[in-house]
Chain A
């Protein structure tokens, strides 16, 4: 927000700007109060012909991505602008077209259930934009099974960046499919909140 407003300052110094309120009002609104949320109402969901995800980048920045393909449990979602998110059991394992992208090489190590409820391991992650290879330690555990969802916490530790945080996944008890997740996938991106809506 601050960044956008600062960058607007030169316009106040203008001598020959030729911009209209049609442009200014949405920009100021976007910089101050954010964009309008895309509400997942029953009507909205009914209108969508395909399975889709709503990705919330924070501050009301929402995008809808539709299911492009499923292959061996790997779901590829695509936006109207060509951005792609690839998920495996609800976890984002690959992206393209975002400002910063990732590619988890050993993503099949990701699973929810383990005998002692503390499944751990190490993801090998290729960070992109800028490119770097990192290792992420993880511990996955079930932390809540109230209601119709199971809530899993994925504790992450990036030793080289002296950083640790948790991702959360809500699984539908009946289908076993992810229906909501909050994930930090890249050090330079905010936490992504994803609502999954399946239409099959």
Chain B
């Protein structure tokens, strides 16, 4: 009791007394909470109710014997955190067969999730509920209900833990609701692993944990953490060596103290180092790298401003003389700014311009920049602009703009007033309707050289394998609607020599021969070489026919069709492909396996939250049939994070380890790291295991992507960029 009294006194002694504004300077780099050794936000070993802002993506790594843990953490909403953990358990072997896995230690994969149930108020704490190791082997399975309340510079946390968090063993309060919460039966695990076992959640005895994260004044944001740890270390991992698990060889050292203490040092706002003393005898350390991709320009402020027309009045005098002058000056000023004019026409007081662009992901910004040029060069008789866009020869959208609305609000950036009367509609492209159609130089070649990295990690052969490569990426436009896209790659350095895992799949090896593709593709490869023809057969209908090498593993012929009404939030499409498996060297030879694969695709985008739901139902590459579900959220920066899973008509046994296909991914716009706008994305996706079930063809230039701006919500979401 006296110890608790001194502890509270110590904590209160560290609390600050200052007003909120200056606290930002006394406790700098404290915008973000910090990560626990478990990989989720929390204290040292225990979780807290704190969450990162929506759009945050983080990587956390910790070493706390006998575990080394790497975690990817995504926060798609400010009330939901999901993480994928990779844990190296160094008191067990990957397998007992040295020829299979050498002396590599055991690797455990797991998913964690946390939901914020109640936001913190002036008087009440934030409350969150979470589940740890929910779809893995269950060796860290635990659940918790936790509250956090910040008082001055101290963030207090108090929680209840189940499963591995239940050390001090109180009776489960949930038994007053249902007696089934009394017993925690974890024996109902699937033989293949990877299933969500909801049956035992929040069951069994309950432990109490708590602690504080103390922001230390004038120490560059350093934080002290202290906690009471309710982890039952006899329930976590393989505590008793071989008695717990065949592959384990050593007991885990049990704690001599339940009090853990640690420091977090923010090197900068989004990079934290941590050092902890846990269990009364173990020093642990780690780091966490976090970035919030929620807001616009989250990392580097753009310096890619609109280039002003030098002498607008002189232009206006020239363009007033003839429409031809207006067309040619539009072409002359828009093309170098990255908005090549495809067609132009003057209809009474309206100037119509058809343009293309491949640089801005914000269509409001590209429309605005075209308007700024036209407003500066068009004669006074022009009172309206019609800005239309084409992509791949497909008409996408038209924005009808009153010139005065645009120009009157430009100075003060009153974009809401400027766009109030803009009419958006689908663009039905017919070049014959335009008086001016400049002759495009065809074929046109766009190319770049980029470094890439092929990776494979978490297998029995070794934890990490990589191949550093240089890719040539090119796109040859033969006409507005006919193009060839390719990526030719040359390996530079790799450590794939040790890879030896062979596929054990009973399905056609459409993906599980990945090791063969990696090992035999270390030199020159053709990653894809795809010819596309785009068509718009009717209003809101888009079509694409393709032939070539679609991806590293398959090539063939096929196409897709998409119905995407302009004013709707949904779209539906179909695709059919006759494909043949490519040789492992990824050049121009094929293997024997060929198949017909196709899907009906359904898309729904919720405009307010920017959540995209994609369902893909049909026949997959391994000739299994079923549905692939994909849920993702896009943020203002253009970053996207999502999860996917699939159910097909194969059994758990046929699918193999993991039971069904699932995983997560995120895309980060490349422009985030630069001060110039560009459209590329850096993507990272992870599925716990590569299996053959529910695998689908990856082809370039999907119609849903090519026609992104052919739906009103894509343009409406970014109107605040119109004067950017």
Q: Which residues of A contact B (CB under 8 A)?
A: 2-4, 6-21, 23-24, 27, 81, 127, 130-134, 160-163, 187-188
CB pairs A–B below 8 angstroms (12 shown): A7-B291, A7-B673, A9-B289, A11-B682, A12-B451, A14-B452, A14-B684, A21-B448, A81-B303, A130-B24, A133-B22, A163-B218
A13 touches B453 (CB 8 A): yes
16 further A-B pairs in the complex, CB-CB below 8 A; given A13-B684, A16-B681, A17-B452: A2-B267, A2-B268, A3-B270, A6-B289, A10-B682, A10-B684, A12-B453, A14-B452, A14-B684, A15-B682, A16-B683, A17-B681, A17-B683, A20-B450, A132-B25, A133-B22
Flag B272-307 by CB within 8 Å of A: 1 or 0 each. Answer: 000000000000000001010000000100010000
Q: Which residue of B lies closest to A158 (CB)?
A: B25
* B680 interfacial contact with A, CB 8 Å: yes
B678 touches A13 (CB 8 A): no
- Rounded to whole angstroms, the CA-CA distance of A15 and B551 in the bound complex is 12
* B18 interfacial contact with A, CB 8 Å: yes
Chain A residues with Cβ below 8 Å from B18 are 160
* B332 interfacial contact with A, CB 8 Å: no
* B679 interfacial contact with A, CB 8 Å: yes
Give, as a whole number of angstroms, the nearest-CB distance from B530 to chain A: 14
A187 touches B28 (CB 8 A): yes
B674 touches A130 (CB 8 A): no
Evaluate whether A17 and B670 lie within 8 angstroms (CB atoms) in the complex, with A3-B268, A3-B271 already known. yes
Which of B25, B28, B683 has the most A CB atoms < 10 Å from its CB? B25
Give 7 closest A-B pairs by Cβ, nearest first: A18-B680, A132-B21, A20-B448, A14-B682, A130-B24, A13-B684, A15-B683
Evaluate whether A161 and B25 lie within 8 angstroms (CB atoms) in the complex, with A7-B291, A18-B448 already known. yes
B291 touches A19 (CB 8 A): no
- Rounded to whole angstroms, the CA-CA distance of A81 and B304 in the bound complex is 10
A27 touches B670 (CB 8 A): no
Chain B interface extent, by class: 35 or more
Chain B residues with Cβ below 8 Å from A2 are 267-268, 271
Q: Which residue of B lies closest to A127 (CB)?
A: B25
Flag B677-705 by CB within 8 Å of A: 1 or 0 each. Answer: 01111111100000000000000000000
Q: Which residue of B lies closest to A187 (CB)?
A: B25
* B473 interfacial contact with A, CB 8 Å: yes
* B449 interfacial contact with A, CB 8 Å: yes
Chain A residues with Cβ below 8 Å from B449 are 20-21
- Rounded to whole angstroms, the CA-CA distance of A169 and B18 in the bound complex is 33
Chain B residues with Cβ below 8 Å from A163 are 218
Give, as a whole number of angstroms, the nearest-CB distance from B483 to chain A: 15
Chain A residues with Cβ below 8 Å from B673 are 4, 7-8, 11, 27
Mostly helix, strand, loop or mixed at chain A's interface? mixed
A24 touches B451 (CB 8 A): yes
Chain B residues with Cβ below 8 Å from A6 are 271, 289
- Rounded to whole angstroms, the CA-CA distance of A187 and B267 in the bound complex is 16
Which of B291, B673, B676, B683 has the most A CB atoms < 10 Å from its CB? B673
Q: Which residue of B lies closest to A11 (CB)?
A: B682
Chain A residues with Cβ below 8 Å from B268 are 2-3
A19 touches B450 (CB 8 A): yes
Chain A residues with Cβ below 8 Å from B679 are 18
Evaluate whether A23 and B682 lie within 8 angstroms (CB atoms) in the complex, with A11-B673, A133-B22, A134-B22 already known. no
A13 touches B676 (CB 8 A): no
B448 touches A14 (CB 8 A): no
A15 touches B670 (CB 8 A): no
Chain A residues with Cβ below 8 Å from B218 are 161-163
- Rounded to whole angstroms, the CA-CA distance of A114 and B74 in the bound complex is 59
A19 touches B680 (CB 8 A): yes
- Rounded to whole angstroms, the CA-CA distance of A6 and B291 in the bound complex is 10
With beta carbons under 8 angstroms apart, the residue of A17, A132, A134, A187 that contacts B682 is A17
B670 touches A11 (CB 8 A): yes
* B668 interfacial contact with A, CB 8 Å: yes
A19 touches B670 (CB 8 A): yes
Q: Which residue of B lies closest to A18 (CB)?
A: B680
Chain B residues with Cβ below 8 Å from A11 are 670, 673, 682
* B254 interfacial contact with A, CB 8 Å: no
* B41 interfacial contact with A, CB 8 Å: no
* B26 interfacial contact with A, CB 8 Å: yes
Which of A7, A8, A11, A14 has the most B CB atoms < 10 Å from its CB? A14
Chain A residues with Cβ below 8 Å from B683 are 13-17
Chain B residues with Cβ below 8 Å from A21 are 448-450
Flag B424-465 by CB within 8 Å of A: 1 or 0 each. Answer: 000000000000000000000000111111010000000000
Q: Which residue of B lies closest to A15 (CB)?
A: B683
Chain A residues with Cβ below 8 Å from B680 are 16-19
Chain B residues with Cβ below 8 Å from A12 are 451, 453
Q: Which residue of A lies closest to B19 (CB)?
A: A132
Give, as a whole number of angstroms, the nearest-CB distance from A184 to chain B: 13
- Rounded to whole angstroms, the CA-CA distance of A20 and B473 in the bound complex is 10
Chain A residues with Cβ below 8 Å from B681 are 16-18
Q: Which residue of A lies closest to B57 (CB)?
A: A10
With beta carbons under 8 angstroms apart, the residue of B267, B303, B450, B455 that contacts A13 is B455
Q: Which residue of A lies closest to B669 (CB)?
A: A17
Chain B residues with Cβ below 8 Å from A16 are 667, 680-683
With beta carbons under 8 angstroms apart, the residue of B28, B267, B303, B674 that contacts A188 is B28
- Rounded to whole angstroms, the CA-CA distance of A81 and B668 in the bound complex is 27
Evaluate whether A130 and B21 lie within 8 angstroms (CB atoms) in the complex, with A13-B453, A18-B448, A24-B451 already known. yes
Chain B residues with Cβ below 8 Å from A160 are 18, 22, 25-26
- Rounded to whole angstroms, the CA-CA distance of A8 and B289 in the bound complex is 12
Which of A10, A12, A15, A162 has the most B CB atoms < 10 Å from its CB? A10
Give, as a whole number of angstroms, the nearest-CB distance from A15 to chain B: 4
- Rounded to whole angstroms, the CA-CA distance of A24 and B471 in the bound complex is 14
Chain B residues with Cβ below 8 Å from A9 are 289
Give, as a whole number of angstroms, the nearest-CB distance from A65 to chain B: 16
Chain A residues with Cβ below 8 Å from B670 are 11, 17-19, 23
Chain B residues with Cβ below 8 Å from A127 are 25
Give, as a whole number of angstroms, the nearest-CB distance from B220 to chain A: 10
Chain A residues with Cβ below 8 Å from B22 are 132-134, 160-161
Chain B residues with Cβ below 8 Å from A130 are 21, 24-25
Evaluate whether A23 and B674 lie within 8 angstroms (CB atoms) in the complex, with A11-B682, A160-B22 already known. yes
Q: Which residue of B lies closest to A26 (CB)?
A: B674
